[in-house]
């Protein structure tokens, strides 16, 4: 249980709040690169700031205040020019630093005027990595954009999913420190959903349960370990575990789950999936990393709970816009959550005292690649589960790789296409897969 004040402190992300200042020390994903290739402006709301992301015709990215400082129209309707973004209303133009560089009528009337030099809006740095665009809203100089392994590995295929959630980011993260929900939400309850659908299939054996859970702080966050009724401490879920990457990511399964705070009551959940090929197989070159919206709800308004993360997102959203932690009753299954809240508090204190929090990188030598690890990995690479991304009511044909998904067809299980691509590449290379 937390006091109302402590809950506010952990959840509020606006400028000047303790968590808002901590979050401003990190680069956050704001778009898939392909989105700006398809349409060069995008409305972005990040850490309670309304912004516009754009790519000008020379290929430079910018992230500016959303509203034009002249008469306050929305610059996401603006025009990307050779160098800068031009407002559609009266043609003022801004460069990526937020400096106004043209005011057509003012310059006609006052050719020697210096008005535009006095007009500046927020202009935040943007970098591209791993098919995503990253923004930094904090004090300068910005730290390096961390080169976490999955964004920079070669010889892999990737895809990006995005889900908009009407709830605070901390609910998503606390779920990642709460392993015990696995056998209930994703097991028992999921099986109950299948029963309601009239199918015999069951996802998790009903008697599979956690028997032991453990959490350890490490230099990038917290490592989670566990044993189940059918595993021991010699198995990788205990020996290796998997990390929560400070402050707001989980590394598990096929990649990262990144929970980007839009504001206090909205979050974007990014699913960043990376598929390594089987040993000996080369991944075909991927010119574009695909991006898709993963819907929170079905068209009839019901939560899309027919796949694992859909079950998680349902749980987070039903906790309310901001969970009332002053009313909660924590037990043994929540000790990871308690450790994580303490870590957040410590790091907020470090920032308030003028220090640099966990996962701040300034030495390029340390940032060539930042390797993480996780259970169920083959060597250093992820194993692609055969049934990855198959919604519970979907059918995958292993012969063709085709998938029929009803009714949440938009999940577009790219992972399945990846499996087929690798199977074909193996066959072409004469490699027999198990
Ligand atoms: S409102 Fe943008 S140039 Fe006038
Ligand atoms: Fe979950």
Range with lowest mean pLDDT among 56-65, 197-206, 323-332:
197-206
pLDDT at residue 414 tops 60: no
pLDDT at 410: 39
Quote the ligand 1 centre to 114 CA distance (angstroms). 17
Q: What is the mean pLDDT of residues 269-298?
A: 86
Q: Which domain holds residue 44?
A: 26-136
Q: List the Cα angle 324/329/330 in 5-degree steps.
A: 110
pLDDT at 274: 86
| Beta-carbon contacts of residue 409 (< 8 Å; ≥ 6 apart) | none
pLDDT digits (tens, 9 = 90+) for 352-377: 999 999 999 999 999 999 999 888 66
Tell me: do 227 and 369 sit in the same domain. Answer: yes
pLDDT at 23: 99
Q: What is the mean pLDDT of residues 236-247?
A: 94
pLDDT at residue 408 tops 80: no
Tell me: do 195 and 330 sit in the same domain. Answer: yes
User: How many domains, in total, are found in the chain?
Assistant: 2
Residue 262 lies in a domain: yes
Using 50, 70 and 90 to split pLDDT, how confident is the model at 434?
low
pLDDT digits (tens, 9 = 90+) for 212-223: 999 999 999 999
pLDDT at 69: 98
pLDDT at 38: 92
Does residue 73 line the site of ligand 1, with CB under 6 A? Answer: yes
Tell me: do 94 and 159 sit in the same domain. Answer: no
Residue 2 lies in a domain: no
Structure tokens at 322: 């901001």
72 C-beta neighbours (distance < 10 Å), count: 10
Is the separation of the CB atoms in 83 and 143 below 8 Å? no
Q: What is the mean pLDDT of residues 275-296?
A: 85
Distance of CA 286 to the CA centre of its chain: 20
Structure tokens at 41: 């402006």
Residue 20 lies in a domain: no
Q: What percent of the chain has pLDDT over 90?
A: 69
Q: What is the mean pLDDT of residues 183-189?
A: 91
CATH of the domain at 79: 2.102.10.10
Tell me: do 240 and 386 sit in the same domain. Answer: yes
Q: What is the mean pLDDT of residues 337-351?
A: 98
Q: What is the mean pLDDT of residues 116-142?
A: 98
Dihedral sign (CA 384, 386, 391, 392): negative
Q: Which atom of ligand 1 is nearest to the CA of 103?
A: 3
Tell me: do 153 and 251 sit in the same domain. Answer: yes
Does residue 79 line the site of ligand 1, with CB under 6 A? Answer: no
pLDDT digits (tens, 9 = 90+) for 58-69: 999 999 999 999
User: Global pTM?
Assistant: 0.92
251 versus 386: which is more confidently predicted? 251
403 versus 240: which is more confidently predicted? 240
pLDDT digits (tens, 9 = 90+) for 163-174: 999 999 999 999
Residue 21 lies in a domain: no
pLDDT at residue 411 tops 90: no
pLDDT at residue 297 tops 70: yes
pLDDT at residue 261 tops 90: yes
Q: What percent of the chain has pLDDT over 70?
A: 89
Tell me: do 126 and 167 sit in the same domain. Answer: no
Q: Which neighbouring-strand residues pair with 120?
A: 99
pLDDT at 203: 67
| Beta-carbon contacts of residue 426 (< 8 Å; ≥ 6 apart) | 277, 278, 280, 281, 432, 433
Which residue owns the Cα nearest ligand 1 atom 1?
71
Range with lowest mean pLDDT among 13-17, 93-97, 114-118, 390-394:
390-394
Tell me: do 238 and 365 sit in the same domain. Answer: yes
Does residue 70 line the site of ligand 1, with CB under 6 A? Answer: yes
pLDDT digits (tens, 9 = 90+) for 305-317: 877 888 999 999 9
- Helix, strand or coil, per DSSP, at residue 100: strand
Q: Select from 90, 107, 136 the last residue of a domain.
A: 136
44 versus 417: which is more confidently predicted? 44
pLDDT at 412: 42
Tell me: do 224 and 353 sit in the same domain. Answer: yes
Residues with CB under 5 A from ligand 2 (ion): 312
pLDDT at residue 143 tops 60: yes
Query: What's the rounded Cα separation, in Å, for the pair 420 and 230?
Result: 31
pLDDT at 376: 67
Using 50, 70 and 90 to split pLDDT, how confident is the model at 15?
very high
Residue 274 lies in a domain: yes
- Helix, strand or coil, per DSSP, at residue 28: strand
Quote the ligand 1 centre to 223 CA distance (angstroms). 50
Quote the ligand 2 centre to 109 CA distance (angstroms). 62
Q: What is the mean pLDDT of residues 301-305?
A: 88
Dihedral sign (CA 396, 306, 45, 270): negative
Backbone angles phi, psi at 148, to 5 degrees: -60, 145
Quote the ligand 1 centre to 67 CA distance (angstroms). 9
pLDDT at 108: 98
Q: Select from 115, 136, 157 the last residue of a domain.
A: 136
pLDDT at 199: 73
Tell me: do 365 and 424 sit in the same domain. Answer: yes
Q: Select from 136, 169, 196 the last residue of a domain.
A: 136
Tell me: do 107 and 167 sit in the same domain. Answer: no
Residue 7 lies in a domain: no
List, in sequence order, the alpha helices (H) in 264-370.
308-318, 335-352
Residue 16 lies in a domain: no
List, in sequence order, the alpha helices (H) in 177-307.
181-183, 189-196, 236-239
Which residue owns the Cα nearest ligand 1 atom 4?
90
Quote the ligand 1 centre to 90 CA distance (angstroms). 5
Tell me: do 110 and 221 sit in the same domain. Answer: no
pLDDT at 205: 72
Does residue 90 line the site of ligand 1, with CB under 6 A? Answer: yes
383 versus 66: which is more confidently predicted? 66
pLDDT at residue 226 tops 80: yes
Q: Which atom of ligand 1 is nearest to the CA of 72?
A: 1
Tell me: do 156 and 199 sit in the same domain. Answer: yes
């Amino acid at each position: 249980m937390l006091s109302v004040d402590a809950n506010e402190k952990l959840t509020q992300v606006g400028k000047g709040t303790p968590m808002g200042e901590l979050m401003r020390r990190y680069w956050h994903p704001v778009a898939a690169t392909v989105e700006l290739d398809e349409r060069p402006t995008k409305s972005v709301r990040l850490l309670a700031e309304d912004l516009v992301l754009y790519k000008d015709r020379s290929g430079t990215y910018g992230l500016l205040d959303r509203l034009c400082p002249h008469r306050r129209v929305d610059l996401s309707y603006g025009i990307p020019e050779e160098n800068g973004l031009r407002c559609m209303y009266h043609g003022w133009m801004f460069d990526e630093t937020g400096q106004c560089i043209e005011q057509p009528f003012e310059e006609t009337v006052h050719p020697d005027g210096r008005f535009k030099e006095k007009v500046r809006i927020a202009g935040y740095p943007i970098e591209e990595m791993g098919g995503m665009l990253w923004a930094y809203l904090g004090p300068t100089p910005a730290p390096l954009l961390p080169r976490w392994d999955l964004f920079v590995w070669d010889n892999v295929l990737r895809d990006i999913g995005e889900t908009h959630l009407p709830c605070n980011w901390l609910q998503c993260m606390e779920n990642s420190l709460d392993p015990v929900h696995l056998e209930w939400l994703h097991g028992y309850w999921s099986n109950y959903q299948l029963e309601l659908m009239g199918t015999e299939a069951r996802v998790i054996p009903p008697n599979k349960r956690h028997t032991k859970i453990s959490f350890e702080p490490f230099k990038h966050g917290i490592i989670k370990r566990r044993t189940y009724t059918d595993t021991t401490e010699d198995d990788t879920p205990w020996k290796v575990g998997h990390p929560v990457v400070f402050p707001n990511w989980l590394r598990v399964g096929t990649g990262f789950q990144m929970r980007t705070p839009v504001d206090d009551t909205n979050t974007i959940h990014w699913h960043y999936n990376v598929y390594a090929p089987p040993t000996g197989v080369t991944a075909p070159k991927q010119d574009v990393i695909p991006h898709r919206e993963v819907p929170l709800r079905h068209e009839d308004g019901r939560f899309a709970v027919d796949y694992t993360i859909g079950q998680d997102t349902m749980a987070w959203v039903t906790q309310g816009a901001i969970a009332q932690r002053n009313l909660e009753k924590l037990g043994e299954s929540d000790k990871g959550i308690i450790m994580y809240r303490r870590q957040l508090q410590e790091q907020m204190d470090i920032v308030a005292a003028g220090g640099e929090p966990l996962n701040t990188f300034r030495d390029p030598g340390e940032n060539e690649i930042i390797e993480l690890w996780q259970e169920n990995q083959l060597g250093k690479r992820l194993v692609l589960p055969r049934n990855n991304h198959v919604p519970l009511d979907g059918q995958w044909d292993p012969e063709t790789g085709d998938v029929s998904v009803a009714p949440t067809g938009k999940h577009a299980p790219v992972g399945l296409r990846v499996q087929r691509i690798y199977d074909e590449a193996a066959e072409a290379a004469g490699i027999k897969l198990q």
